[in-house]
Structure 1
């Protein structure tokens, strides 16, 4: 298992503050595990976090953590990890993503994506890859790696002529923000092992029905989603590592 996750409720003692993260490791688990244990501290250490400028705080935290890992001999050769984090603070939903994991908000009766998948074939990603000296072959960077943003993967961050954020594989996250509303029911955060099988709408539909059938048992609901991904109908697609977090909003959260 190369995945890791973190879920911190009542962040800084505040009942309506929370932090969630999913880390989908590849070519080893160590960087995913390290990130899960350090990203929140890295985020909260930025001046921007204290100022409530969460998008810039996330960007600094991801890059800082990535650069620190690049200087650790015991970890820099241990592959990499896709990383997606969701912060709930001061009535905001802030999602920071680098890779192909995904977060989806279920609001009213709609599945609203909070992130975009970072694949080498996306035009903006491909342009950065080529500018950094790479190519996109068979939907992979240099025919090797199938995502264009990640922490780690330092073999793809060795062009001395360009800044860290513009390397073939960058740790710079894409950050999206939204305001919390009373219509918000839950957020699903999961790695690509889930999204390769289920659409945003399919996943949210399973969660919605599961919450009703299990009287809000989040653990059972997550099992229902993963079981669906492993069902015979997927014809062997559901064989990747799979990690999922479901964060359900209770009415008291909005008080």
Structure 2
């Protein structure tokens, strides 16, 4: 996919994750969609180092991780996938947020999530500083699910789509799971110091100043650990490569799953031909308000402390996983040093192997050099 490598400008201020206008609140959905039937993700740009939390902005000199994103509508008539990533998420050097949203019955749910989910998550982290990250992810999924239902109601039936979701949050922590290095940061002009520390009792003030006036990001001590928190609803999947071996960090919520089928039948629904009420192939999603009684938005979450053996993470929608397994996908790219090259390779693999769906692949490489 083409990427824009422009330098940050003042026009990007409105997209800064440190800005939080009411239109981005989980309870006030923004419905200003384009007339295109294709879901649109924010254009990918590149800065030297400071991204100021701007959505889908690479940091060329980021030494903590490297992100590659590739997408294609494949054999479908329209593109209903969206993606997002944020470097130095939450104003902490080395943190990152990454996500893919695979839409169905229209683009709107996926497109909205691609634009707003990261901000909803950050708001939840700040408003619930005492809550552990998996619970914050669960809270965010439910908030976004409710927002999409509200959006559907306000549209008077014109918007009724849903989307599967896979998200990953790379968090920098102390050994005890806290972020005491944020508490030691000096307050400065509406900064977000201490925003996600469990010891803080209130949410910080969110800066409304232009990006260039924000304080530098907090640089954590070298003794900090890196923890990868993943959450998914539906069949979009996250796979970690650890010492060359594939480790799945998500759970496929499908109608063919016995536990999910039992949950649905217990709620008064049915599964026929692997589809909920004979309609939807996934059993969990964001949106799909007309089936919310059965197709819930509750995510599956995992917590993984990264170690020296962890090489990269693959996030992808089922357009990839329909034609390749976890280990085979890892094998395809484990010798590739560049994350963008790796994501594009997996995209081409899916298309060349006749996937029938849209395909979006995000590769996050944690090491500069692949294992031999």
Q: Same fold (TM over 0.5)?
A: yes
Report what 2:141 is aligned to.
62
Offset at residue 225 of structure 1 (A): 1.1
When the two structures are superposed, what TM-score results if normalisation uses the length of structure 1?
A: 0.87
Show the 5 A alignment for 1:60-209.
60-72=139-151, 73-74=154-155, 77-89=159-171, 90=173, 91-157=226-292, 167-209=293-335
Residue-by-residue CA offset, 1:99-130 (whole Å, 9 max, x unaligned): 10000000112100000100122122111111
What is the CA–CA distance in structure 2 between the aligned matches of 1:151 and 1:30, rounded to whole Å?
11
**Cα distance, 1:70–1:125 mapped onto 2, change above 3 Å:** same
Q: Structure 2 vs 1, CA of residues 148 and 75 (structure 1 numbering), >3 Å: closer, same or farther?
A: farther
Higher radius of gyration, 1 or 2: 2
1:9 Cα offset (Å): 1.2
Unaligned regions of 5+ residues in structure 1, if any?
Answer: 158-166
Structure with the higher helix share, 1 or 2:
1
Against the structure 1 CA distance between its residues 75 and 218, is the aligned structure 2 distance closer, same or farther, given a 3 Å change threshold? farther
How far is 1:219 from its partner?
A: 2.0
Q: Structure 1, residues 27-53: CA drift from partner, whole Å, max 9, x if none? A: 111110101111112112225753361
1:220-244, CA deviations, whole angstroms, 9 ceiling, x for partnerless residues?
A: 222211111122xx3x3x1210000
2:359 aligned counterpart, secondary structure: coil
Query: Take 1:222 and 1:35, find their aligned partners in 2: how far apart are those partners?
Result: 21
- State the Cα RMSD in Å: 1.8
Aligned position for 2:358: 241
Contact 1:184 1:249 in 2 (8 A): yes
Work out whether residues 284 and 296 of structure 2, in 8 Å CA contact, stay in contact via their aligned partners in 1.
yes
* Equivalent position of 2:349 in the other structure: 228
Deviations 1:63-106 (A, max 9, x none): 11111221222286331000110001022111010010000000
CA distance in 1, matches of 2:334, 2:269: 42
Query: Does structure 2 retain, via aligned residues, the 8 Å contact 1:185–1:248?
Result: yes
**Residue pair 2:80, 2:106 contacting (<8 A) in 1 also:** yes
The 3-state SS of whatever aligns with 1:106 is strand
- TM-score scaled by length of structure 2: 0.60
Question: Partners of 1:180 and 1:51 in 2: how far apart?
Answer: 23
The correspondence of residues 42-53 of structure 1 with structure 2, limited to 5 A, is 42-46=120-124, 50-51=129-130, 53=132
Aligned residues: 234
Cα gap change, 1:49 to 1:22, in 2 (>3 Å): farther
For the structure 1 residues 124 and 187, does the alpha-carbon distance in structure 2 shift closer, same or farther, using more than 3 Å as the test?
same
The answer for the alignment partner of 1:18 in structure 2 is 96
Show the counterpart of 2:82. 4
Measured in 2, the distance between the counterparts of 1:50 and 1:123 equals 36
Structure 2: 5+ residue runs without aligned partners?
1-78, 174-225
Q: Is the 8 A contact 1:105 1:112 kept in 2?
A: yes
1:44–1:50 contact (8 Å) kept in structure 2:
no
- The answer (yes or no) to whether the contact 2:148–2:287 under 8 Å persists in 1 is yes
Q: Secondary structure at the match of 2:319?
A: helix
**What secondary structure does 1:50 align onto?**
coil
* Corresponding position of 1:162: none
Taking a change above 3 Å as real, the CA distance of residues 75 and 208 of structure 1, as seen in their structure-2 partners, is: farther
